[in-house]
Amino acid sequence: MPTFSEDAGSRPRSRVASGRPAVTKGRIIDAALELSAEAGLENWTLRQLAAAVDAYPAVVYHHVGDRDTVVVEVLDRVVGQLSLPDETLPWRAWFTEFLPTVRTVLRRYPGSARRLALFGPSVAAAVPTMNTGIGRLLAAGFGTEAPFAYNLLLATACQFVAMEDDRESAMALQLDRTEGYAAYRTRTDLPGMAALGESVAALVADPDLAAGYYERLYGYAVERCLDGLEHRLSRLDTLGRLTER
């Protein structure tokens, strides 16, 4: 909480006079970003944020706004950490390079993926990524479907990271269910469950394999989305040639 002069009868000393750094919007967002990395985007309060900058909640509200406003600023900072591939790359190569970066950045700030999947970043923060990503899809020939294709890829990425965040926070329940699924690996009468059980048992037996499970699942989801879009692009190309006849 804020600190003031030890003399209760005197007026509070100014921040500068007491050697404390000034409270600014930038410092507040820096602190909120750090809290989000440590505890998750949804797991800190405005009071905790105020304490992190040695101020009262009203000061945070004055400089930034309410908690939702701070969260928007945090998400914009998160999106700003995304590095964009060379914009001259073909569309699939561009997204193949970009989407792993999305997971890496969002995983630093648990809860950010869920918020972005639901609401997206602010327009100003979204422009660089959207303009380049949709631009690559337009150049490839997706036409009016380019924004839909872009949203499909980014929503899939955010949803899988959000799932990873949520499951990590409920690890005990996840382990209980893992053992239950693994028990089906010998059920020849249920081949689908047996295949799942074998897969799960392999994860349980190999910690290194288990540690990389969500990264592989994310990569699989991204690649299959790209496969589907590539197939759709060939279909659009065929339709385009037919209409030209």
Please tell me the predicted confidence (pLDDT) of residue 15: 56
In this prediction, residue 59 has a pLDDT band, given cuts at 50, 70 and 90, of very high
Please tell me the predicted confidence (pLDDT) of residue 167: 82
- Based on C-alpha coordinates, what's the Rg of the chain? 24
Q: With a cut of 60, say whether residue 9 has pLDDT above it.
A: no
Token pair 């659009």 in the structure block, residue: 236
What is d(CA 204, CA 207) in angstroms, rounded to the nearest whole number?
A: 7
pLDDT digit string (tens) for 38-48? 999 999 999 99
In this prediction, residue 175 has a pLDDT band, given cuts at 50, 70 and 90, of low
% of the chain beyond a pLDDT of 90: 72
Q: Which residue has the higher pLDDT, 49 or 10?
A: 49
Helix axes 146-169, 112-119, angle to 10 degrees: 150
Buried b (16+ CB within 10 A) or exposed e, 116-128: bbeebbeeebbee
Most confident of 9-13, 140-144, 163-167: 140-144
Q: With a cut of 80, say whether residue 171 has pLDDT above it.
A: no
pLDDT digit string (tens) for 108-138? 999 999 999 999 899 999 999 999 999 999 9
Q: List the domains of the chain with CATH numbers.
A: 1-80 (1.10.10.60), 84-169+212-244 (1.10.357)
Q: How many CB atoms lie within 10 A of CB 152?
A: 15
Q: With a cut of 80, say whether residue 16 has pLDDT above it.
A: no
In 3-state terms, what secondary structure has residue 152?
helix
Please tell me the predicted confidence (pLDDT) of residue 37: 97
Q: With a cut of 70, say whether residue 219 has pLDDT above it.
A: yes
Please tell me the predicted confidence (pLDDT) of residue 83: 94
What is d(CA 84, CA 105) in angstroms, rounded to the nearest whole number?
A: 12
Name the E strands within the chain. Answer: none
pLDDT (mean) for 68-93: 96
Q: What is the mean pLDDT of the chain?
A: 88
Q: With a cut of 90, say whether residue 178 has pLDDT above it.
A: no
- Entry pTM: 0.84
What is d(CA 123, CA 26) in angstroms, rounded to the nearest whole number?
A: 19
% of the chain beyond a pLDDT of 70: 87
pLDDT (mean) for 10-30: 73
CA dihedral 82, 88, 91, 93 (to 10 degrees): -70
Token pair 């009071």 in the structure block, residue: 47
Residue 144 DSSP symbol: G
Which residues, other chains included, contact 67 with Cβ-Cβ below 8 Å and sequence gap of 6+? 45, 46
- Lowest-confidence range among 8-12, 51-55, 197-201? 8-12
Which residues, other chains included, contact 42 with Cβ-Cβ below 8 Å and sequence gap of 6+? 111
What is d(CA 6, CA 9) in angstroms, rounded to the nearest whole number?
A: 9
